[in-house]
């Protein structure tokens, strides 16, 4: 197969930052995706509809072609979120859910949830108004092994949330383990999951081959090969519960290459190409459209896109870096050759 034509996909989990950094990355995503759910973990976090609308306007202003890309806004759930804010979010077409970060789980999660029981009244209102909950599913108890944090969250927290709020739509974001894939398959219909390209392509060896590789460091962290294969099986299965969420997370080079590296992989420069590489590795390119273009909008109750995009089988070298404010942004697979090429990319290479 030398060419693939797909219904234009959407990204259901994306980090865009703000200010100059936003302007340097947003058009990568806009070139490939029609819509994207934008994560709210800025500093300060986006916790209100008013803040989300201001952020939406900032994103639109940064776009080269604003009419071609629609940011779908998420709000940062905190223990002090007001009940009326959930009602306002439910009524506004620009807002598509709340993001739950366990406090301390990942980048800019300090304002996250310390006690799940404290937000049960808020989850009840979300359930009543059919506002989706997007979850960074990791336990943060320091005694839990970092490679077991996802499983611990599922067993100790997610089961209870689903039992207490059976009508709440939930997306378990960027799943990383066989356990999570099996859980999603067995869960009720309103429970789904996003999967990143980097968790489909790499196992935890990528962090250490030839020395410590900070640009492969993300949270949740890469897992064993058995888990990568289970995720790939889930993504390429055609099952409606799994869909594309890049979790593309840009950080300046100095923030990644230091004694305390930031967590996050930047993949927006080649998002569809990386997913195509993963699906091609198991001869399932025929399932890519279902995963990338259909399952997400179906879950969120939105129309599928009418536009199409094309991938060509051709080799190209990923640039060594991109402009990122006053710094450099190192993309995943920098300097390496990919074998699939999207037919449009932003002109932002150094």
Section 331-350 average pLDDT: 79
Two tokens, residue 290: 């279902």
Q: What is the rounded end-to-end Cα distance, in angstroms, of the chain?
A: 32
Q: Distance between CA 238 and CA 241 in Å, rounded? A: 9
Q: What is the pLDDT of residue 55?
A: 98
In a domain? residue 92: yes
In a domain? residue 58: yes
103 is in which domain, residue-wise?
Answer: 3-343
In a domain? residue 349: no
In a domain? residue 350: no
Mean pLDDT of the chain: 95
Q: Which of 247, 286, 298, 327 is catalytic?
A: 247
Q: Which residues are annotated as a binding site for Zn(2+)?
A: 13, 15, 99, 136, 174, 247
Give residue 344's pLDDT band: very low, low, confident or very high (50, 70, 90): low
pLDDT single digits (tens) 192-224: 999 999 999 999 999 999 899 999 999 999 999
Buried b (16+ CB within 10 A) or exposed e, 166-194: eebbbbbbbbbbbbbbebbeebeebbbbb
Give the residue carrying structure tokens 């392509």: 201
Q: Distance between CA 249 and CA 257 in Å, rounded? A: 15
In a domain? residue 44: yes
In a domain? residue 348: no
Give residue 1's pLDDT band: very low, low, confident or very high (50, 70, 90): confident
Mark out the alpha helices in the chain (DSSP H runs).
19-32, 49-62, 83-91, 120-129, 149-153, 159-164, 178-186, 197-201, 225-235, 253-256, 271-280, 288-289, 295-300
In a domain? residue 28: yes
Q: Is 343 a catalytic residue?
A: no
CATH classification of the domain holding 219: 3.20.20.140
In a domain? residue 304: yes
Q: Which residues are annotated as a binding site for substrate?
A: 15-17, 41, 136, 219, 251, 263
Give residue 86's pLDDT band: very low, low, confident or very high (50, 70, 90): very high
Beta bridge partners of 248: 14
Q: Which residues are annotated as a binding site?
A: 13, 15-17, 41, 99, 136, 174, 219, 247, 251, 263
Number of domains in the chain: 1
């Amino acid at each position: 197969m030398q060419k693939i034509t797909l219904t234009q996909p959407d990204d259901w989990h994306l980090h865009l930052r703000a200010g100059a950094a936003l302007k340097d990355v947003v058009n990568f995503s806009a070139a490939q995706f029609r819509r994207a759910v934008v994560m709210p973990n800025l500093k300060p976090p986006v916790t209100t509809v008013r803040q989300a609308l201001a952020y939406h306007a900032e994103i639109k202003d940064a776009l080269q072609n604003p009419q071609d890309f629609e940011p779908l806004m998420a709000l940062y759930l905190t223990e002090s979120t007001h009940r009326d804010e959930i009602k306002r979010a439910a009524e506004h077409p620009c807002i598509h859910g709340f993001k739950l970060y366990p406090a301390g789980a990942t980048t800019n999660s300090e304002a996250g949830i310390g006690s799940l029981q404290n937000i049960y009244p808020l989850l009840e209102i979300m359930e009543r108004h059919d506002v989706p909950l997007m979850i960074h599913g990791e336990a943060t108890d320091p005694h839990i092994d970092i490679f077991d944090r996802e499983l611990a969250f599922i067993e100790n927290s997610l089961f209870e949330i689903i039992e207490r709020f059976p009508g709440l739509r939930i997306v378990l974001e960027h799943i990383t383990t066989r356990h999570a894939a099996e859980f999603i398959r067995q869960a009720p219909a309103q429970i789904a999951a996003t999967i990143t390209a980097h968790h489909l392509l790499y196992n935890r060896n990528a962090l250490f081959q030839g020395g410590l590789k900070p640009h492969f460091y993300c949270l949740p962290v890469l897992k064993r090969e058995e888990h990568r294969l289970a995720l790939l099986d889930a993504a390429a299965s055609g099952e409606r519960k799994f869909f594309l969420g890049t979790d593309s997370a840009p950080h300046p080079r100095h923030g990644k290459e230091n004694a305390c590296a930031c967590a996050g992989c930047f993949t927006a420069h080649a998002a569809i190409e990386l997913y195509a590489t993963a699906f091609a590795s198991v001869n399932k390119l025929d399932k890519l459209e279902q995963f990338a273009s259909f399952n997400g909008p179906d879950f969120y109750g939105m129309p599928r896109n009418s536009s199409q995009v094309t991938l060509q089988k051709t080799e190209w070298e990923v640039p060594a870096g991109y402009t990122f404010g006053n710094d450099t942004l190192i993309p995943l697979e920098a300097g390496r050759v990919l074998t699939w090429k999207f037919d449009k990319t932003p002109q932002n290479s150094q």
